[in-house]
Amino acid sequence: MSTEQTVWRVRATVTDTPGSLAALAASFAWHGMNIVSVQVHGMPAGAVDEFLVEVPATATTDDVLAAVSAGGGTEPSAMRADVRDLVDVPTHVLTVVARTLAGGTGLPEALRAVLGVRELSWSPADTADEGADGPVLRLADPEGGTLELRRDGPAFTPAEFARARALVDLDHQLAARAERTVLLTAGEELTVRTATRADVPEIVAMHARCGPRTRRRRYLTGTPRPADAELRRMVNRRAGHTLLALRPDGAVVAMGNLVWDGDTGEVALLVEDAWQRRGVGAALLGRLLRAAASGGVETCYALTETTNTAMIRLLRRHGAAVERTEPGVACLTIRPVRADTRVPG
Ligand SMILES: CC(C)(COP(=O)(O)OP(=O)(O)OC[C@H]1O[C@@H](n2cnc3c(N)ncnc32)[C@H](O)[C@@H]1OP(=O)(O)O)[C@@H](O)C(=O)NCCC(=O)NCCS
């Protein structure tokens, strides 16, 4: 594609008669536009075709719609796409697989590229009302709560609902299976994996085994632990990324949280007292930072007591710098490393 071209996602109804598609392609070509890919969405009343089209940069929405109408397409809609959308759907799906197995999530990027989703939001209430409402799609989140997908373009079709459902389920299934065994220096074996809401009771039990000093260092308050609803929100992957370290008997001994905060992410760790100083914190932090990098986060930060030597040492090992200090609490920032970069832990 030359630099004077832009990519558009164009949708239109094309009659099911020989030559209709050729007429539309010819009209695009006559207007200096080039079809790069075509997908057919089955609808109750027929089929809608969706095209990715290279369009001269000077063309407006009206120009694109005019080219469709002149080629015999009806009920047209057009929205600007991203050059990355030229990658085909199977490649986007494989990207979800790779990123989610690496501990991040490829879901938002895949939904944007495959379905033009501009905004992915999550709310904790479950829904019994899945489906499309114009350019808004509601899905039950397999991790609990409801996902809402929005785009600027046309209404979601049933085929797109099915694709969104499949992508969300794929991302969920992979995240649950992306386990890693960690060998600690003393030879103990722990499993590290992404938390789900089914882990909340074991996370609560782990908090009960932590002493008050450990809990205060984690939450910087006197709270014994977050409420169950807050823990369920924390482990939901729309809010962030929570890793657990588990003993072979399934007991949780440590939790690492990465909470999405716009373009940044907050990292926090909690290792049960009896498991501290064995490398668990280092193992979790390294993985959280790799997940942050694969999720496109450029800067992470951590809040810690200024006397918390263990956490500060751990963060400094990853190149953290003190951003600011408030009475007794320091904020350190880190630039996460990519998944293919080796880090300690
Ligand atoms: C801070 C914490 C996460 C560290 O986890 P950990 O598993 O004990 O740490 P590791 O064994 O991976 O060791 C990490 C580093 O800290 C050092 N360290 C660990 N405990 C230490 C201690 N009590 N005093 C001094 N240094 C200590 C280790 O020597 C290691 O340093 P090195 O890499 O330079 O050798 C853990 O102690 C903890 O959960 N503390 C309570 C909660 C908390 O403070 N959270 C941080 C704020 S969010």
Q: How confident is the model at residue 342 (pLDDT cuts 50, 70, 90)?
A: very low
Residue to substitute in 203, 214, 255, 271 for testing ligand 1 pocket (most ligand atoms within 8 angstroms of CB): 271
Ligand 1 surroundings by CB, under 6 angstroms: 214, 217-218, 268-271, 276-282, 302, 304, 308-311, 313-314, 317
Q: How confident is the model at residue 144 (pLDDT cuts 50, 70, 90)?
A: confident
Kindly state the average pLDDT of the residues 39-61: 87
Candidates 157, 163, 136, 130; CA nearest to 42 is: 157
3-state SS track over the chain: CCCCEEEEEEEEECCCCCCHHHHHHHHHHHCCCEEEEEEEEEECCEEEEEEEEEEECCCCHHHHHHHHHHCCCEEEEEEECCHHHHCCHHHHHHHHHHHHHCCCCCHHHHHHHHHCCCEEEEECCCCCCCEEECCEEEEECCCCCEEEEECCCCCCCHHHHHHHHHHHHHHHHHHHHCCEEEECCCCCEEEEEECCHHHHHHHHHHHHHCCHHHHHHHHCCCCCCCCHHHHHHHHCCCCEEEEEEECCCCCEEEEEEEEEECCEEEEEEEECHHHCCCCHHHHHHHHHHHHHHHCCCCEEEEEEECCCHHHHHHHHHCCCEEEEEECCEEEEEECCCCCCCCCCC
pLDDT at residue 45 in the model:
67
pLDDT at residue 103 in the model:
67
Give me ligand 1 centre to Cα 176, in Å.
Answer: 27
Kindly state the average pLDDT of the residues 324-344: 74
Candidates 71, 129, 103; CA nearest to 194 is: 103
Residue with the bigger pLDDT between 119 and 63: it is 63
Residue 214 near residue 234 (C-beta atoms within 8 A) = no
Q: Mean pLDDT highest for which of 53-67, 158-172, 179-193?
A: 53-67
With a cut of 50, say whether residue 180 has pLDDT above it.
Answer: yes
Which protein residue's CA is at the shortest distance from atom 42 of ligand 1? 218
Give me ligand 1 centre to Cα 277, in Å.
Answer: 6
Kindly state the average pLDDT of the residues 74-88: 84
pLDDT digits (tens, 9 = 90+) for 62-74: 999 999 999 999 9
| Distance, CA of 209 to CA of 289 (rounded, Å) | 26
C-alpha dihedral (99, 105, 106, 109), degrees to nearest 10: -150
**Exposure b/e, 279-291, CB count within 10 A at least 16 = b:** bbbbbbbbbbbbb
Kindly state the average pLDDT of the residues 176-184: 75
Residue to substitute in 183, 269, 334 for testing ligand 1 pocket (most ligand atoms within 8 angstroms of CB): 269
Give me ligand 1 centre to Cα 310, in Å.
Answer: 3
pLDDT at residue 3 in the model:
54
- Cα 186 off chain centre by: 35
pLDDT at residue 113 in the model:
82
pLDDT at residue 43 in the model:
77
Residue with the bigger pLDDT between 35 and 344: it is 35
pTM: 0.74
Q: What are 259's two structure tokens?
A: 């909470």
pLDDT at residue 116 in the model:
85
Residue with the bigger pLDDT between 74 and 96: it is 74
Compute φ and ψ for 51, nearest 5 degrees: -120, 145
pLDDT digits (tens, 9 = 90+) for 148-176: 999 987 889 888 999 999 999 988 888 77
| Distance, CA of 145 to CA of 265 (rounded, Å) | 22
pLDDT at residue 343 in the model:
39
Whole-number mean pLDDT of the chain? 88
pLDDT at residue 299 in the model:
93
Residue with the bigger pLDDT between 84 and 19: it is 19
Which protein residue's CA is at the shortest distance from atom 16 of ligand 1? 310
Give me ligand 1 centre to Cα 15, in Å.
Answer: 66
Residue to substitute in 255, 308, 314 for testing ligand 1 pocket (most ligand atoms within 8 angstroms of CB): 314
Compute φ and ψ for 8, nearest 5 degrees: -125, 150
